Amino acid sequence: MPLKPVKSNDLCNSLLLNTADAVIVSDSAGNITYVNPAFVKLIGAQEDEIIGHRLNSFILADWLDSSTVEEESKSGAESNGTPRPATILTKSGTEFVMPAAHFIAASGSDNMTIVYVVQANSLQQAQTEFVSTVSHELRTPLTSIKGFADTILRAGDRLEVAQQRRYVGIIRDQADRLTRLVEDLLAVSRLESKKLQLTVRALDLREAIERVEQNLSDKAKNHTLVVQVPAGLTPVWADADRLEQILTNLVDNAIKYSPQGTTVTVSATVAPADEKHSGPEMIEFAVKDQGVGIPEEHLPQVFSKFGRLDNPLVRQTEGTGLGLYITRSLVLALGGQIHVTSVPGCTTFTVRLPAATFEQQVARGRGD
């Protein structure tokens, strides 16, 4: 019996309904017009909670801007249709970094249809890798603690006092490393479950930077720390503790991952106007180092969980690999933006947070 030909529309619908990949369609303004069941399941929301909303409510990536998509399409850029990392925001608050691609399905004089495909079948693999990485990170300091504790118990009376002190010092350092990892994991849990408590108010950015500079003075003794903040800079709307945590993570990273004798610069200014994004005035601060730099192909992964790069300076520096992921999550929680640029010998992390202008302070009942 001859097979009946399959209509192209029926085939497309069947693929969209049954594929494991999440498919999203938006217009040129970034409004979602269609999602398939895989995306609905991934986000954990109802279809009507997604359709009509902005694309950046669920997917975050610099390359997702519709004007960037259109430019890439017109120029025939290789990235058009090529999977690149994007952050998926679920209804529960959990974030996943997953491969995503885009292409323009139709384009008219005043509108275009853009299709985004997220490789959702990589989610299980990502979760498995996360558990495996956490297990490895916990095992390393625990192995050191157990090993040196066993040595002291077994041969303590035959060890010189200097050896005993050195072994106890290693146990203490590894216990501190475990504490930092557990604290970072708890911070990740609070951020992803949206249980982070924020007390937002107008804050003097210069004062916050100076506190961080003082707290890190011992770590920075072999570096030059330069602060460039203009007098009278508009305050920022932020939570004091979280702002200090963001600054500490960025400055500490700049110190750790740049050679001794180099300069770390912290600067701040009113953010230049951005025609693509209308909204409140923003204050911008940047942390610039003179380190080894980050290869362009690795820039998207620096904000990922355990996103430590493979170079000698990073390998010899202890860290949990969660600092920049937490930093980015805190910036987003405060209504801000963060991005990184890097060339050999210079990496700059730039953060934008809402400005606490006088009008806004009055509107919030905080003005004098």
| The CATH fold of domain 125-192 | Helix Hairpins (1.10.287)
Residue 340 pLDDT greater than 90, yes or no: yes
Average the pLDDT over each of 136-145, 226-235, 236-245, 324-333 and give the range with the smallest value: 136-145
For the chain, where are the E strands, in sequence order? 22-26, 32-35, 59-60, 84-89, 95-107, 112-118, 200-203, 224-228, 236-239, 263-270, 282-289, 337-343, 346-354
Average the pLDDT over each of 151-155, 226-230, 339-343 and give the range with the smallest value: 151-155
Spatial distance between the Cα atoms of 101 and 116, rounded to a whole number of angstroms: 6
Q: What is the pLDDT of residues 189-220, one digit of tens each?
A: 777 666 678 889 999 999 999 999 998 988 89
| The CATH fold of domain 8-118 | Beta-Lactamase (3.30.450)
Amino acid of residue 81: G
Helix axes 323-333, 161-192, angle to 10 degrees: 30
> What pLDDT is attached to residue 187?
77
Q: What is the pLDDT of residues 34-73, one digit of tens each?
A: 999 989 888 888 898 999 998 888 888 766 665 555 565 5
Spatial distance between the Cα atoms of 31 and 57, rounded to a whole number of angstroms: 10
Q: String of b and e for 55-85 (b: at least 16 CB within 10 Å)?
A: beebbbbebbebebbbebbeeeeeebeeeeb
H-state helical runs in 238-322: 240-256, 312-315
| The CATH fold of domain 200-363 | Heat Shock Protein 90 (3.30.565)
> What pLDDT is attached to residue 78?
44
Q: Over pLDDT 70: what percentage of the chain?
A: 75
Question: Pick the residue with more confidence: 137 or 298?
Answer: 298
Which DSSP symbol is given to 75? H
Residue 186 belongs to what H/E stretch?
helix 161-192
pLDDT grade for 186, boundaries at 50, 70 and 90: confident
Q: What is the DSSP string of 306-342?
A: T----SHHHHTS---S-HHHHHHHHHHHTT-EEEEEE
Residue 31 pLDDT greater than 50, yes or no: yes
The SS3 of residue 147 is helix
How is the chain split into domains, by residue range? 8-118, 125-192, 200-363
Q: What is the pLDDT of residues 92-145, one digit of tens each?
A: 666 777 788 888 876 665 667 888 888 766 555 555 556 666 776 778 788 889
Structure token digits, residue 359: 């009008």
